[in-house]
Amino acid sequence: MEDVLALVEARLRTALGEPDARAAVTFLGTDRVEVLRFLDRGGDGDIVRYATLGMSAHPMTDPTAALADPVKGPRAELVLSVRAGLADTDKVLRPLAVLAASPQVEGVVVAPGASLDVGGPLWPDAPFSSVLVAESGGLVEDLELDGPIDPVRFLPLLPMTSNEAAWKRVHGAQELQERWLTHGTDLRDPLRRSVTLD
C-alpha cells in the first residue's frame, strides 16, 4: 500500500509540481486520505488543483461481489481544478476526502460518467454540491503498476449545479459535457452559474 501511494505522489508531483499545502482526514474504519494542493500559475490566471492521495491504496470493489479481491480491481485518485482567488475553495479539502473514502466506506466504484454528491456545498457559498467524474489521462497520466495490479487513474472532477446534476440523470454525462462545450462553460470558475439546459 505504502509503495503504491509513494508512486502516486511521485506521479502527481511530476505532473503538477510541488504541492504548496496538504491536509489529512481519517474516517472511522478507513485508511487516512490526504488532499494535496497545487498552484498552477498560468497565462490565463492562477489555477489551484486539489488531488487526493490514499484512495488508490486499495482496489475498488463491486459492492455485489461476494469477496473483495485485495489486489485486482480499479484504482483511482480524484483531481479538482478551480480558478484561484475567487472563492474559499480550500474548504473543499474535507468534501474531497469524503469522496475519496467512499469506495471504502460505501463500497462504490468511482468511474467516469458517475455523479458524486457531498450533501452540501463543495466550499462556502458554492453553487455546487455534486461533481461529474470525467475521463482520466489528460492532466495526470494513468500510473501503470506491476501486474496483476490495475493502473491508478487520476479522475478529474467537474462541479455540477443541482440543475445540471438533475439534467445529467435524465440525459447522461455525455450530453451534459456536450452542453458545457457548446456554451463555452468555464468549468474551473468556482462562481459559475448553471449552463442553459432548455
Tell me the β-bridge partners of 188: none
**Which element (helix H / strand E) includes 60?**
none
Q: List, for residues 120-166, the tens digit of each pLDDT value.
A: 999 999 999 999 999 998 899 999 998 788 999 999 999 999 999 99
pTM over 0.95? The answer is no
- What is the identity of the amino acid at 145? L
